[in-house]
Amino acid sequence: MSTHHAPSHSEASSQSSDPVGRKGKIGVRVVGRPDSLEQRVYLPEVIRGLGVTAKHFFANLFSRKYTVTVEYPEQKLKYPERNRGLHRLMLRDDGHVRCVACMLCPTVCPAHCITIVPEETGNKSEKRPRIFEIDELRCVVCGLCVEACPCDAIRMDSGVHAPAVDYRGDAIQTKIDMLKRGTQSVATQGGVGADWREKQPTVKQYDPPK
C-alpha cells in the first residue's frame, strides 16, 4: 500500500509562493465548480465578463492600450542578436572569397541544399569555389554549415530573412548574391596572435570580377 496521499491545500501553498498554488515543478490546480448562487444564475457573471471585454474594446479603440499587433510591412521587429538569417560569404583582406571549397558545409548540411563546384586557384595549397549555391527553399536554417566552416567563410548573421519568390529557381542564392552581403572577417587568414583586435583590416566591399 502506498503511503502517499494527495497534498492538502495548505501544504502546497506553504511550500511555494506560486500564485496558482503549484507544488514543485508539476502540480494540479483545482478549480472548483461554480457553486455560489451568484455564479449559478450566470447572469451576474455574464455582465462581469462583458465588462472585461468592453474595457478592452474601449481602451483599444481610443488609445490602443493593450493592442499587441505589429503592422508588419510598416513596422518591423528587431531580430534577436543570434538570429540565423540569409547566408552570406565572407571576404578575405584582398576582397576575394574566403571559402576554400573544403566541402565541409555541403557534407554536414542535413537538407543537402549547398552546391559547391571547386576550381584551382594557381596556389597549390588552396582551392576556391567556382560555384557556391544555396537553395533557400531547402535550407532548414539549422546553422550547421556555419559551425562546420573552418575558415569563417559562411555566416548566417546577415539579419535578412529569406525573401518571398515567384519561382522556385529564384530562391537559389548564388555566390555573388552571398558575397554582396559579406564583409571582411575579423579572423585573419592563417591565424594570428592574441592582438588580432588591434590588427583589424579596413573593410572593402566585394567587387565581382567583370
Footprint of other proteins (CB under 8 A): 43, 46, 49-50, 52-54, 56-57, 60-61, 66-69, 71
Residue nearer to other proteins on the CB measure, 46 or 117: 46
Structure-block grid coordinates of residue 132: 557556391
Q: Which three cell numbers stand for residue 66?
A: 493593450
Cα distance between residue 92 and residue 72, in whole Å: 36
Closer residue to other proteins, CB minimum distance, 1 or 52: 52
Which of 6, 47 has the CB closer to other proteins? 47
Minimum distance, C-beta of residue 38 to other proteins, in the bound complex (Å)? 16
Least distance (Å) between residue 43 CB and other proteins: 7
Nearest distance in Å: CB 71, other proteins = 7
In 49-208, where do the E strands start and end?
Answer: 88-89, 114-120, 127-135, 154-155, 172-173
Give the nearest distance from C-beta 51 to other proteins in angstroms. Answer: 9
The residue among 67 and 107 lying less far from other proteins, judged by its C-beta, is 67
Q: Which three cell numbers stand for residue 38?
A: 451568484
Task: State how far the alpha carbon of 66 is from the alpha carbons of 57, 73, 75, 76, 118, in Å.
Answer: 9, 21, 17, 18, 55
